[in-house]
Amino acid sequence: MTIEYLKKATPPQEAIDGATAETVQRLLADIQTNGREAVEKYARDLDGWRGSIVVGEADLSKASNSLAQGVKDDIAFAHARVKDFAQRQRDSLYEFEAELIEGLITGQKLIPVNTAGCYVPGGRYAHAASAIMSICTAKAARVSNIVATSPGHNESGVNPAILHTMKLCGADTVLSLGGVQGVAAMAFGLYSPRPADVIVGPGNSFVAEAKRALFGRVGIDVLAGPTESAIIADETADVSMAAADLAGQAEHGPDSPVWLFTSSRELGLKVIELMPSVIAALPELARTAASAAWRDYGEVVLVSSREEMIEISDQYAPEHLQVFAHDLDWWLVAGQADQLRLAFPGRGDDRSLWRQVRRPQPHLANPGCGAVLGRVERRQVHQDRDLPAVDPQRQPRGGPGGSPYLAPGRHGRPRAHGRYPAKKIFSARVI
């Protein structure tokens, strides 16, 4: 295979971030020793939150009442889809007992964990979809006690869309805590009847490091890295759609790789030309992140055939992959055997909407994770992937309210991507 880089990534020299690990260890030790007093101190100092840590029913109702009906309709629409899928997943599991040889009886029992802790990001962006992906899935796994937490900021507290979603999905305890203190509060059971058996959900480097440090004391879903996204595009692809989708994924963070694999030099060069103007149109926070991600980690790779596009995609093994090409039936068949089973096929389709509304349970990011991970779910028994596909004539375009946004910005301003879910692990101790 001969490849040509029309744009090559030039990531900055990686440095070992010992400061983050040291900070997390110090905070965890303080919280383990001083409990709620330490947690509330960090909530004040780091997030400016001086209100109640446990969110009461009155505040949950107030948050719901503050939202436009269209937003609530969209959240309900996504919740129904994820709930349906998660329940079907749960129903596909079964218990059995077998006598393998005389006197040797073995089997499998499905036992939900007692308490699941669900971390929902709410810093730079408010991820209501993350609440759906975690809390709803735990509920479907029949977890009896679900604790959910998201950062409270200054006087505003937790984003109302997140609070509404947590209530809708059935969280038993809702906390106004972010960062290390939020993860620690769930792990140590400081505001809930029991400590969490498992903690799930995406977050910043401090959240990821806290989960790493606590692993063993509690279970975790995965140590998520920066989001990776790739597009396979042939000469028939819409240049504007490809550029918009790459920008919408690059805004996840300044170190989020976005890659375009194409058999068309003309399309690749046009995307490179268009990207600066697409990124420039984003809101400030998203623009800053996407600019750095595209500059340092963005790549456009030219190959000669669709078979080679599959081969290069398998080598990169991205977290998320989308196909913009003609003859989608061929790509769907190709996806049955290769990494393309993680793809979102569809010319002119919005992959962000795909991930929220049509493919309910993606996995969290890790470099090259597409090669080995399917959905990280209520069990870690075998690799399991789903192939999303839609009839182009019957593509759902959002919830009943007509707006596809599930994750408004921290101050209510939607970003280009607008939607970011998480997928978690909850149960199934196999004996």
Active site residues: 319-320
Beta bridge partners of 320: 229
Write b or e for each residue in 355-372: b if 16 or more Cβ atoms lie within 10 A of its Cβ, otherwise e: bbbbbbbbbbbbeebbee
428: left (phi over 0), alpha (psi -120 to 50) or beta: left
For residues 397 and 127, give the distance between their C-alpha atoms in angstroms, rounded to a whole number: 19
Contact 361, 141 (CB under 8 A): no
Strands 173-176 and 145-150: parallel
Structure tokens at 318: 């991205």
Q: Phi and psi of 239, rounded to 5°?
A: -60, -45
What Cα–Cα distance (Å) separates residue 78 from each residue in 31, 71, 227, 333, 420? 36, 11, 21, 28, 12
What Cα–Cα distance (Å) separates residue 226 from each residue in 92, 317, 419, 420? 31, 14, 16, 13
Beta bridge partners of 145: 115
For residues 150 and 133, give the distance between their C-alpha atoms in angstroms, rounded to a whole number: 14
Write b or e for each residue in 66-91: b if 16 or more Cβ atoms lie within 10 A of its Cβ, otherwise e: ebeeebbbbbbbbbebbbebbeebbe
Strands 258-262 and 173-176: unpaired
370 alpha-carbon distance from chain centroid: 14
Contact 156, 101 (CB under 8 A): no
For residues 382 and 93, give the distance between their C-alpha atoms in angstroms, rounded to a whole number: 12
Alpha helices for 231-299 (secondary structure H): 239-250, 265-280, 284-297
